[in-house]
């Protein structure tokens, strides 16, 4: 290695060329690296949606959901299947085993599609085949353009034109319209006029179908050649259907469709009303291509909208995902600049100007050079990638500092620059390489975190490792070259540093004399900190602070239609509109469902609604989301039967409620009894901080059950199929034909007029023609009875289920604590029936899985660090001595969390794992120095003084590496350049853990070294270096 180091030290031009090329490639790559919100990952989820118009929840369950679930049992590799059967639709979510990936996942998805394609017993009246969709985060819209105008027809035209223009932009993958429904021609039949004309609904359907035709009747062969015979009978004008002749006789008496019905051009009824900022609206949701830059794409979309949209159309931008990326970029730049300035100050304070300058050069150089490798590993500048860059700011120059400080030390001892650089890099190559490898191996296990969390955070270790490898290269081959050239100015150690080393040595000598008492105090401090953490710290994987979005979920009485539910929604909209403009950015309402999905374009239940309120950034407003919600709650007093729930948007990968309990059984009585017992128990937990109890079992609409007298019906020559057909046409409508215009296909739907559909007496008067042509009214053989039903029917793995959920006050109780209490005081004391499955899920389950993965990753990290130390140092005891500082660094982490009011979160746990690889670096430097200089020397007193003397020589590099790391992290930890709700706690934990570990390293390692020497003396062995 000496010849290689000497080669690079003597090749100034070569080194500068390498630097220049890496910087050029880095800058070129940086311009091409796409910026995005969150990394696009495959969630290993598949959804299956089936539209079954006019069907009740139970009919959907029996005729659609269960047949599909039965087929899915044939597919291996499925972890969980959950389904929701509701009026008009079935929704199934499949979770593929998260341990699988790549080709295995693709194979399972193909098998799911094959099974769905093979189903041949679904009802003929479903709208289309079940739609199978993969769920990938990259498909989430990056921005919503909320349009509003009083004239819906005009708004449709503008939104359609905007959609076409936006889809032409580079970087745009597609646009989804919400609130824009296909146009239909409604033939709204008056049943009284129809009966008077002696017609039935099926005859109306047949007449329209026979009129709107285009067909080829064959070929005419003449002396001029062959000609096709074409029958052109298609409607030229969509409203021409009104002139369809239903009956005509020889006396020229005709009855046309317009005589018994009204023909309207209207929108398909998707049971959904879309409102944007208090007005009827349409939303355009833009998706970007995977390789597109989110900031540039959204900027081009906004520029196009500004240019194309008419002045009379109101519009706002909602859920702009580029804001998060821009905020994190701003945080990185601001905190990076502050950190870089602080690092410079410390370097110039501890080292000579030349050493400080070239050491600090490593920060921008390593960052820029690292960008060259981003395309190679498919890395983007996502929120997670930026997290990795923020983490590494503090540790990027550690290797360079050790080399630079040692070079400075030898120059202060009188060596000329080239010799000083060569000797320093030769002497420190082993400990610096070891220190870099321990850090790399600490981050390596993060790659193997399972599930969605592992996919989301894998960019962090990859970026850290890339930059550390580049930093190692820079420290060995670039930095020594720069320090070896230039004027040979003799330097000396500053007086203040000599004074500081003297104080440290005196304190160390004193502690070494009472080393066992000191180590006992450290163990006591560690034990006390663990006890305090167990008592006062809560576990919350993703802190829910600084919320910028919340939802208002509205549930009106079952007999409310869309219009009545809209009136209730408008009352809340008016309160939102009165909030200060600097607090509310925009709000959107969806009447017909309570889904937080922005792309859902159909309703579930007409008595449901949801308002999504988007607040301005928390840095721009005085109040928190909880305070705004409290004001709205105090001002809105819902009428009896109206339920309003305020729900904050969850931050992070866990979207479930803190308390989530799944009950599963096909025995309805057992299921409802279990629900009642669970809700009663949870109500008693309100004093513990459990609130907003909810069950997903809701009472549905009153159902009108048709009771058929089959004997009478058979005698009249009518079949059950005839009854089902006429009722479907009357109340749901039937698509009978269509017409193709230049830009769309318009369906024709036959249905009773609106007034008749509301009148029960009309149902009795509907007529069916039997085989003899007699018009038989339904009242002759049917009767009706009322019953109640569930609004939706839920399944978990093919079994009917009910999910009970609740929120918690995070300062009082955590998801883990609440689950433990429920397990101990409810489940363990309950004689649960064999047919009932009881599962604690939600945030508790996912937190438990994350903790298990993190514990495994931490254990692997420690084992890898031990192995690399054992191999490189060829010792069993040296690694243990070096790693002894790891558990004591946790004291600093716990102290930081307790004193700053933070919980144990996912990113704090990642900080602890990565900390294990960083805190040992100072120990390596310390043990390396002691081990090289103290082999078999002097008596016990002499040995003690020598330990103190040689430990003193490592004070400067240890302090400098720690202070520069803190300088890089503290700006983010305390938000000097902007606070980030997930990354700032991570930086805080890392900073305080490192600070405590450094202080402990300076005194614990010498004490351990001395203690091991005591053992060798006691057992009569020759005092040698520790091995």
Residue by residue, what is the 3-state secondary structure of 968-985?
HHHHHHCCCCCCCCCHHH
Q: CB under 8 Å to 427, separation ≥6 — which residues?
A: 406
222 contact partners, CB below 8 Å, separation of at least 6: none
Give yes or no for residue 487 having a pLDDT over 70: no
Residues 53 and 110 in one domain: yes
Residues 370 and 517 in one domain: no
Neighbours of 907 (CB within 10 A): 24
Distance CA 450, CA 57 (A): 36
Q: What pLDDT does residue 486 have?
A: 64
Percent of the chain predicted with pLDDT > 90: 30
Distances (CA, A) of 873 to 866, 924, 1014: 10, 10, 22
CATH number of the domain that residue 952 is part of:
1.20.1640.10
Quote the pLDDT of residue 221.
Answer: 53
Candidates 73, 84, 144, 133; CA nearest to 109 is 133
pLDDT digits (tens, 9 = 90+) for 39-48: 777 788 899 9
pLDDT of 671: 93
Average pLDDT of the residues of the chain: 86
Residue 419 domain-assigned (yes or no): yes
Claim to verify: residue 360 and residue 394 sit in the same structural domain = yes
Residues 509 and 410 in one domain: no
Is 811 inside a domain boundary?
Answer: no
Mean pLDDT of 803-826: 90
Q: Does any domain span residue 804?
A: no
Residue 595 lies in a domain: no
Residue 1023's pLDDT band (cuts 50, 70, 90): very low
Report if residue 753 sits inside a domain: no
pLDDT given at position 1026? 41
526 & 406 share domain: no
Regarding whether 1006 and 930 lie in a shared domain, the answer is yes
Average the pLDDT over each of 112-121, 215-224, 462-471, 755-764 and give the range with the smallest value: 215-224
Give dist(CA 378, CA 367) in Å, integer: 17
**Whole-number pLDDT of residue 937:** 47
3-state secondary structure 635-702: HCCCCCCCEEEEEECCCCCCCCCCEEEEEECCCHHHHHHHHHHHHHHHHCCHHHCEEEEEECCCEEEE
Q: Flag whether 651 is in a domain.
A: no
For 290-346, what is each residue's pLDDT tens digit? 788 889 999 999 999 999 999 999 999 988 888 877 877 787 778 778 878 888 888
Most confident residue range from 377-391, 707-721, 965-979: 707-721
pLDDT higher than threshold 80 for residue 720? yes
Residues 795 and 801: beta-carbon distance below 8 Å = yes
Give the pLDDT band of residue 1027 (cuts 50, 70, 90).
very low
Range of the domain at 372: 1-20+342-492
Report d(CA 981, CA 960) in Å as an integer.
29
Co-location of 443 and 503 in the same domain: no
CA 679 vs CA 92, 431, 661, 687, 804: distances in Å: 26, 60, 10, 15, 8
Which single residue is written with the structure tokens 């500004």?
A: 306
Domain limit, last residue, from 87, 113, 138: 138
Quote the strand ranges of 37-140, DSSP E.
Answer: 42-51, 78-86, 89-96, 131-136
Say how many C-beta atoms besides its own lie within 10 A of residue 982's C-beta.
18
Q: What is the mean pLDDT of residues 234-257?
A: 78
Residues in the chain: 1027
Q: What confidence tens digit (pLDDT) does each residue in 516-564 have? A: 999 999 999 999 999 999 888 888 888 777 788 899 999 998 888 899 9
Please check the confidence at residue 390 and state whether its pLDDT lies above 80: no
Residue 774 in any domain: the answer is no
Residue with tokens 């159902």: 703
Proportion of the chain above pLDDT 70, given as a percent: 95
Residue 502 and residue 487 share a domain: no
Which tokens sit at 133? Answer: 């969709």
Query: Are 52 and 14 part of one and the same domain?
Result: no
63 & 14 share domain: no
pLDDT at 1025 over 50: no
Residue appearing with tokens 């008419």: 310
- Same domain for 481 and 504, yes or no, is no
For 559, counting Cβ atoms within 10 Å of its Cβ (0-12 exposed, 13-18 middle, 19+ buried), the class is exposed
Domains identified in the chain, total number:
3
Helix (H) or strand (E) holding 708: strand 699-708
Domain boundary among 138, 160, 187: 138
Q: Select from 666, 706, 674 the least CA-distant residue to 62.
A: 666
Alpha carbon distance 558, 87 (integer Å): 13
Rama region for 440: left / alpha / beta (φ>0; ψ in -120 to 50; rest): alpha
From residue 813, give the alpha-carbon distance in Å to each of 608, 683, 791, 808, 837.
31, 15, 32, 7, 26
Q: What is the mean pLDDT of residues 119-129?
A: 85
* Pairwise CA distance, residues 977 & 986, whole Å: 15
Cβ–Cβ under 8 Å, residues 589 and 644? no
**Closest among 842, 804, 834 to 666, alpha carbons compared:** 834
Q: Out of 97-111, 989-1003, 1006-1020, which region has the weakest mean confidence (pLDDT)? A: 1006-1020
376 and 467 in a single domain? The answer is yes
For residue 1024, what pLDDT band results from cuts at 50, 70 and 90?
very low
Most trustworthy range by pLDDT among 64-68, 354-358, 847-851: 64-68
Q: What pLDDT was estimated at residue 670?
A: 94
Q: What is the domain-level CATH number for residue 53?
A: 3.30.70.1430
Label residue 275 by pLDDT band (50, 70, 90). Answer: very high
Q: In which band, very low, low, confident or very high, does the pLDDT at 679 lie, cut at 50, 70 and 90?
A: very high
Mean pLDDT along residues 963-991: 83
pLDDT at 662: 94
- Answer yes or no: is pLDDT of 253 > 80: no
Q: How many CB atoms lie within 10 A of CB 1018?
A: 8
Task: Give the rounded distance of the alpha carbon of 744 from its chain centre.
Answer: 36
Grade residue 72 by pLDDT with cuts at 50, 70 and 90. Answer: very high
pLDDT tens, residue by residue, 430-450: 888 888 888 888 888 888 777
Distances (CA, A) of 827 to 779, 822, 838: 53, 7, 8
> Residue 288: in which H helix or E strand, if any?
strand 279-288
Domain C-terminal end among 76, 106, 138: 138
Predicted local distance difference test score (pLDDT) of residue 251: 57
The pLDDT assigned to 1020 comes to 56
Task: Note whether residue 838 is domain-resident.
Answer: no
CB 990 within 8 A of CB 393: no
Rg (CA), the chain: 37
Average pLDDT over residues 479-496: 75
Residues in CB range of 1019: below 8 A, 6 or more apart: none
What pLDDT band is residue 936 in, cutting at 50, 70 and 90?
low
What's the mean pLDDT in 687-710?
A: 85
Judged by phi (left if over 0) then psi (alpha if -120 to 50, else beta), residue 603 lies in: beta
What is the maximal distance between C-alpha atoms in the chain? 134
Residues 780 and 757: their CA atoms lie apart, in Å, by 20
E-only strand ranges, 289-404: 314-318
Contacts of 240 (CB under 8 A, 6+ apart): none
The highest-confidence range among 489-493, 519-523, 635-639, by mean pLDDT, is 519-523
667 touches 799 (CB < 8 A): no
Q: What is the pLDDT of residues 165-219, one digit of tens each?
A: 999 998 899 999 999 988 899 999 999 999 998 989 999 999 888 887 655 555 5
Q: Which one, of 365, 476, 347, 364, lies nearest residue 422 by Cα?
A: 476
C-alpha dihedral over 430, 432, 437, 438, to 10 degrees?
Answer: 110
pLDDT of residue 161: 92
* Res. 660: pLDDT tops 90: yes
């Amino acid at each position: 290695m000496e010849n290689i180091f000497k080669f690079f030290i003597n090749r100034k031009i070569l080194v500068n060329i390498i630097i220049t090329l890496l910087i050029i490639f880095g800058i070129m790559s940086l311009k091409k690296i796409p910026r995005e919100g969150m990394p696009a990952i495959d969630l290993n989820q598949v959804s299956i949606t089936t539209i079954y118009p006019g069907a009740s929840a139970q009919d959907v369950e029996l005729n659609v959901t269960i047949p599909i679930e039965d087929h899915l049992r044939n597919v291996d590799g499925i972890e969980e299947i959950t389904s929701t059967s509701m009026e008009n639709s079935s929704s199934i979510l499949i979770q593929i085993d998260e341990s699988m990936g790549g080709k295995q996942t693709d194979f399972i998805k193909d098998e799911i599609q094959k099974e769905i394609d093979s189903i041949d017993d679904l009802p003929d009246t479903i709208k289309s085949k079940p739609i199978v969709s993969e769920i990938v985060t990259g498909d989430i819209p990056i921005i919503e353009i909320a349009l509003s105008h009083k004239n819906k027809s005009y708004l449709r035209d503008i939104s359609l034109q905007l959609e076409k223009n936006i889809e032409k932009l580079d970087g745009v993958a597609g646009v989804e319209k919400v609130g824009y429904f296909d146009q239909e021609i409604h033939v709204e039949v008056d049943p009284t006029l129809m009966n008077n004309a002696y017609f039935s609904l099926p005859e109306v359907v047949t007449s329209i179908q026979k009129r709107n035709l285009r067909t080829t009747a064959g070929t005419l062969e003449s002396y001029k050649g062959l000609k096709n015979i074409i029958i052109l009978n298609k409607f030229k004008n969509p409203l021409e259907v009104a002139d369809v002749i239903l009956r005509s006789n020889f006396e020229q008496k005709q009855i046309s469709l317009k005589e018994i019905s009204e023909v309207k051009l209207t929108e398909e009824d998707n049971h959904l009303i879309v409102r944007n900022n208090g007005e009827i609206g349409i939303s355009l949701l833009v998706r970007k291509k995977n390789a597109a830059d989110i900031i540039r794409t959204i900027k081009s979309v906004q520029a196009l909208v500004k240019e194309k949209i008419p002045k009379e159309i109101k519009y706002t931008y909602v859920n702009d995902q580029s804001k998060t990326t821009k905020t994190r970029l701003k945080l990185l730049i601001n905190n990076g600049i502050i950190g870089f300035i602080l690092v410079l100050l410390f370097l110039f304070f501890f080292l000579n100007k030349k050493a400080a300058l070239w050491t600090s050069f490593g920060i921008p150089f390593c960052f820029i050079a690292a960008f060259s490798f981003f395309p190679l590993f498919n890395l983007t500048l996502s929120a997670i990638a930026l997290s990795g860059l923020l983490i590494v700011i503090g540790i990027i120059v550690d290797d360079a500092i050790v080399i630079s400080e040692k070079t400075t030390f030898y120059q202060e001892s009188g060596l000329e620059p080239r010799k000083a650089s060569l000797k320093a890099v030769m002497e420190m190559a082993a400990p610096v390489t070891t220190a870099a490898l321990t850090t790399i191996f600490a981050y390596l296990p993060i790659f193997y975190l399972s599930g969605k969390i592992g996919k989301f955070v894998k960019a962090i270790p990859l970026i850290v490792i890339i930059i550390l490898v580049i930093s190692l290269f820079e420290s060995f081959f670039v930095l020594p070259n720069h320090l070896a050239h230039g004027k040979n100015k003799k330097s000396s150690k500053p007086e203040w540093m000599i004074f500081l080393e003297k104080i440290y040595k005196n304190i160390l000598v004193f502690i070494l004399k009472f080393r066992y008492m000191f180590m006992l105090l450290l163990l006591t401090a560690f034990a006390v900190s663990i006890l305090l953490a167990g008592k006062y710290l809560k576990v919350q994987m993703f802190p829910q602070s600084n919320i910028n979005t919340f939802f208002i979920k509205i549930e009106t009485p079952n007999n409310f239609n869309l219009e009545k539910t809209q009136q209730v929604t408008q009352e809340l909209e008016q309160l939102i509109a009165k909030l200060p403009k600097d607090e509310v950015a925009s709000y959107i309402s969806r009447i017909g469902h309570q889904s937080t999905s922005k792309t859902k374009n159909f309703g579930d239940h007409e008595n449901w609604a949801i308002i999504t309120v988007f607040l301005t950034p928390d840095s721009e407003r005085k109040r928190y989301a909880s305070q705004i919600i409290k004001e709205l709650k105090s001002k809105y007093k819902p009428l009896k039967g109206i339920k309003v729930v305020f729900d904050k948007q969850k931050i992070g990968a866990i979207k479930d409620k803190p308390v989530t309990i799944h009950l599963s059984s096909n025995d309805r009585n057992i299921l409802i009894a279990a629900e009642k017992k669970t809700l009663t128990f949870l109500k008693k937990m309100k004093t513990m901080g459990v609130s907003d109890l909810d069950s997903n079992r809701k009472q549905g609409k009153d159902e009108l059950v048709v009771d058929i007298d089959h004997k009478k019906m058979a005698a009249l020559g009518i079949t059950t199929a005839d009854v089902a057909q006429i009722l479907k046409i009357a109340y749901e409508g039937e698509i009978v034909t269509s017409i193709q215009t230049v830009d769309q296909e318009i369906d024709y739907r036959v249905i009773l007029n609106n007034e008749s559909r509301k009148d029960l007496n009309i149902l009795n008067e509907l007529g069916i023609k039997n085989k003899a042509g007699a018009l038989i009214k339904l009242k002759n053989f049917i009767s009706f009875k009322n019953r109640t039903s569930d609004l939706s029917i839920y399944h978990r793995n093919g079994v009917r289920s009910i999910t009970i959920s609740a929120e918690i006050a995070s300062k009082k109780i955590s998801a883990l604590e609440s689950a433990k209490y429920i397990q101990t005081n409810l489940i363990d004391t309950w004689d649960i029936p064999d047919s009932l499955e009881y599962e604690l899920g939600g945030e508790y389950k996912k937190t438990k899985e994350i903790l298990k993965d993190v514990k495994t990753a931490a254990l692997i990290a420690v084992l890898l660090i031990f192995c690399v130390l054992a191999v490189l140092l060829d010792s069993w005891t040296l690694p243990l001595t070096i790693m002894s500082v790891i558990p004591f660094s946790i004291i600093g982490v716990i102290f930081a969390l307790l004193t700053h009011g933070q919980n144990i979160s996912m990113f704090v746990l990642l900080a602890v794992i990565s900390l294990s690889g960083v805190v040992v670096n100072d120990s390596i430097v310390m043990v390396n120095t002691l081990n090289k200089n103290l082999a078999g020397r002097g008596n016990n007193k002499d040995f003690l003084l020598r330990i103190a003397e040689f430990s003193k020589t490592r004070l400067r590099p240890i302090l400098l590496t720690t202070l520069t790391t803190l300088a890089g992290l503290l700006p983010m930890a305390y938000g000097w350049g902007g606070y980030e709700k997930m990354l700032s706690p991570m930086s805080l934990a890392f900073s305080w853990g490192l600070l405590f570990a450094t202080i402990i390293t300076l005194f614990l390692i010498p004490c351990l070294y001395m203690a091991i020497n005591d053992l060798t003396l006691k057992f009569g062995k020759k005092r040698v270096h520790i091995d």
